[in-house]
């Protein structure tokens, strides 16, 4: 087994929202891409992504990765990138929405468990939003959905739990899953 690389990945526009990810050196940017998508609730089956050696667009891109697993960046091995502890990368998911992430290589270490990588070992402390419908009834329920249609109509953020979002009021409403 190769060494394990521990990366901290944070959203560029919500820096307090991060995930600590371990990946083996002999795994690829494709593997890294998949776990970042899962960690940040990005669509696994849609949109291109790419890692960069530094600031996105300015630094050299490591090659696009497409959702089906191909693309010039997909097969590059983590331990062939020449990274040292403290090095920074950036990652963009979806060249349309342009969701940017900061990545820092925190540690290179010996593996603890065979076959357990890549994996998320820690994440930022969630700051929950609560369902406003439940809240009116005196219940604290963690919101899963941000109803975009209601938010735009009412000019504020409308957060809802799963049950309340299922209400027919929101039947045709587009919503985004809240990321914690």
Q: What is the CA radius of gyration of the chain?
A: 19
Q: Binding residue for Zn ion (CB under 5 A) from 79, 170, 178, 180?
A: 170
Residue among 98 and 162 whose Cβ is closer to Zn ion: 162
**Cα separations in angstroms, 139 against 65, 143, 158, 177:** 43, 12, 16, 20
Residue 42 binds Zn ion (CB under 5 A): no
* CB of 34 or CB of 173, closer to Zn ion: 173
- Residue 144 binds to Zn ion (criterion: CB under 5 A): no
Q: Which is nearer to Zn ion, 110 or 168 (CB)?
A: 168
Q: Does 36 bind Zn ion (CB under 5 A)?
A: no
Residues 6+ apart with CB under 8 A from 179: 17, 40, 41
What is the total count of residues that contact Zn ion (CB under 5 A)? 11
Nearest distance from residue 73's CB to Zn ion, in Å?
38
Report whether the peptide linkage leading into residue 118 is cis, meaning its omega lies within 30 degrees of zero: yes
Q: How many CB atoms lie within 10 A of CB 70?
A: 12
Determine the Cα–Cα distance for residues 56 and 50; give it in Å rounded to an integer: 9
Interface residue with Zn ion, options 36, 39, 105, 133 (CB under 5 A): 133
Residue-wise burial string across 52-64, b where 16 or more C-beta atoms lie within 10 A, e elsewhere: bbeebeeeeebeb
Restricting to residues 149-168, which ones interact with Zn ion according to CB under 5 A? Answer: 149-150, 161, 164
Q: Does residue 131 belong to the site contacting Zn ion (CB under 5 A)?
A: yes
With binding defined as CB under 5 A, does residue 143 bind Zn ion? no
Check binding of 29 to Zn ion (CB under 5 A): no
Binding to Zn ion in span 62-91, by CB under 5 A: none
What is d(CA 117, CA 38) in angstroms, rounded to the nearest whole number?
A: 14
Residues that bind Zn ion (CB under 5 A): 131, 133-134, 141, 147, 149-150, 161, 164, 170, 173
């Amino acid at each position: 087994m190769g060494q394990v690389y521990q990366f901290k990945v944070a959203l560029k526009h919500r820096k307090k929202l991060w995930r600590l990810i371990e990946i083996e050196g002999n795994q690829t940017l494709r593997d890294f891409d998949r776990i970042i998508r899962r960690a940040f609730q990005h669509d696994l089956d849609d949109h291109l992504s790419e890692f960069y050696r530094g600031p996105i667009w300015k630094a050299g891109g490591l090659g696009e990765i497409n959702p089906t697993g191909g693309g010039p960046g997909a097969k590059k091995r983590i331990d062939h990138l020449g990274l040292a502890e403290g090095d920074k990368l950036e990652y963009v998911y979806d060249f349309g929405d342009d969701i940017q992430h900061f990545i820092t290589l925190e540690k290179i270490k010996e593996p603890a468990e065979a076959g357990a990588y890549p994996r998320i070992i820690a994440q930022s402390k969630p700051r929950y939003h609560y369902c406003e419908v439940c809240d009116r009834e005196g219940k604290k329920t963690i919101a899963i959905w941000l109803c975009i249609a209601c938010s735009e109509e009412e000019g504020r953020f409308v957060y809802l739990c799963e049950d309340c979002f299922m209400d027919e009021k929101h039947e045709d409403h587009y919503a985004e899953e809240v990321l914690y």
